[in-house]
Structure 1
Amino acid sequence: MSMLQVSGLTKSFGGFTAVDNVSFSVEEGQILGLLGPNGSGKSTTFNCIAGMLKPTAGSVKLAGEEIGGLSADATCRKGIGRTFQIPRPFRELTLLENAMLAAHFGSDGHLSHDEAEAIARDALTLAQLPTDANAVVGGLGAAGLKKLELARAIATRPKLLLADESLGGLDGGEMRQAADMLKRIRDERGITIVWVEHIMGVLLSVVDRVLVLDHGAVIFEGTPREAQQDEKVAEVYLGPPETRAA
């Protein structure tokens, strides 16, 4: 079953079209890598799916239900969780309180304090963060902040997770850990994932399928192996063949 079905998605800002007639689907339990250079339309596509932006045209369906144009909070309650490229946790709150707040945000308003705490502790555990009620945000480095972003998204109890550049600002080992964590979230919780990145290497070793955007349009869709062999993808990342180093 398709967990996410995007058809003819278009987003324009005045005379500029940032996303141009993009269509793709993600099957339940898959990890789709959404790739492209800076300015290719990845984040705008994400924001249209997540309810941060209203599409100019097209359809976004979650498990067969149209959600395109819903607000971000309504989209979250329908079952879409997301992380942000730049983590902005509530620094005056503890890790547990951050995750509990996310649990309430993703609920229908009938979540008790104890239920929210249980969901939050579970999400923090999955993200390999301390569940101690006194653990604070100030002690986290770049990798820890990325983990907290994932924990907060997981705490909304999504069917579909949108992971926005989870590797940004991390070193090689931290990138590998972040990629493994996304795979574990899929494997252990059955959460379907769309992962936006501009860093190809680590992502291609984890995802099931790849979608590549350039100038707001789809230029490739296929397997990671096919993406590595595709000349259009290589040109977007490396430039025309005549300009590449021998």
Structure 2
Amino acid sequence: MLLQVSGLTKKFGGFTAVDKVSFSVARGEILGLLGPNGSGKSTTFNCIAGMLRPTSGSVKLDGEEVAGLNADAICHKGLGRTFQIPRPFRELSLVENATLAAYYGANGRITRAEAESRARDALQLAQLPTEASARVGGLGAAGLKKLELARALATQPKLLLADESLGGLDGGEMRQAADMLKHIRDVRGITIVWVEHIMGVLLSVVDRVVVLDHGAVIFQGTPREAQQDERVAEVYLGPPETRAA
């Protein structure tokens, strides 16, 4: 397993945001981490990526314990992530944004030429312009999501955490974003954990899903099994007696 999460818990004072979460991700897999708003998805992500320090539990990346390490140290070990709300350097070009990320990544010291080469490769993979003149100001919501993805890819990750990649996109853009993540896995072999609260498009792409509710795992299995699971349906649709006929 490339990622093993065991008993992951995060408390904020007396509130338990993540409650003994355990799951694993095989190398080359796309795992969907699902749940309604407030279910603990992003907090789980932030604990895995080093943005938050877990209260307890284990996170192993390629067999090495990384729980409690800072985000930069975990990135250097091969974990890249996107953020729900893109915050690019707007005064820089697309290439410059991705080049900075390449310097920050998993492969130690690299030259400027190597960083720029990785940046352009990541931009191309995210279907963005690679010309030096391309600026952030020309991007819409979908383009900003792509740039966020390109910056993560420029760090040369073996594991990509994609946080709410469909937020703010229309139906066609959602489908394109989902297909892009699958393409990245298929052509680069990058393992992906994809956090999302929008189920429909994600379920057509992922290999397995883990569903959270109130910070705890309530389901693990295939997308088809998730769609047939009564507890998952209750989390998203409410109790059977409250659903429209």
TM-score class, shorter-chain normalisation, is over 0.9
- Within-5 A mapping of 1:3-42: 3-42=2-41
Displacement after TM superposition at 1:149 (Å):
0.6
1:56 has 2:87 as partner: no
Name the counterpart of 1:87: 86
The 2-side partners of 1:230 and 1:74 are apart by 38
Q: What is the letter of the counterpart of residue 209 of structure 2?
A: V
The alignment partner of 1:60 has SS state of strand
Paired residue type of 2:144: L
Q: Deviations over 1:121-166 (max 9, x none)?
A: 0000000000001100000000000000110000000010000000
2:244 alignment partner AA: A
Tell whether 2:179 aligns with 1:180: yes
**Aligned ranges for residues 1-246 of structure 1 at < 5 Å?**
2-107=1-106, 109-246=108-245
1:62-120 Cα shifts (integer Å, max 9, x gaps) = 01000010101001001000000010000000000000000011145511000000000
CA-to-aligned-CA distance 1:7-65 (integer Å, 9 cap, x gap)? 00000000000000000000000000000000000000000000000000000000100
Q: Could you list the runs of 5+ residues in structure 2 that have no partner in the other structure?
A: none
In structure 1, list runs of 5 or more residues that go unmatched.
Answer: none
User: So what's the TM-score if we normalise by structure 1?
Assistant: 0.99
Q: What RMSD, in angstroms, separates the aligned Cα atoms of the two structures?
A: 0.6
Aligned length: 245
d(CA) in 2 for partners of 1:241 and 1:146? 36
Q: CA–CA distance in 2 between the matches of 1:191 and 1:66? A: 20
From the superposition, tell whether residues 102 and 235 of structure 1 become closer, same or farther in structure 2 (CA, over 3 Å): same
Q: Does structure 1 conserve the Cα–Cα contact (< 8 Å) formed by 2:18 and 2:44? A: yes
Task: Among all aligned residue pairs of Structure 1 and Structure 2, give the percentage whose two residues are the same amino acid.
Answer: 83
Contact 2:2/2:25 (<8 A) preserved: yes
Measured in 1, the distance between the counterparts of 2:61 and 2:211 equals 21
**Equivalent pair of 2:80/2:156 in contact (CA under 8 Å):** yes
Q: Give the structure-2-normalised TM-score.
A: 0.99
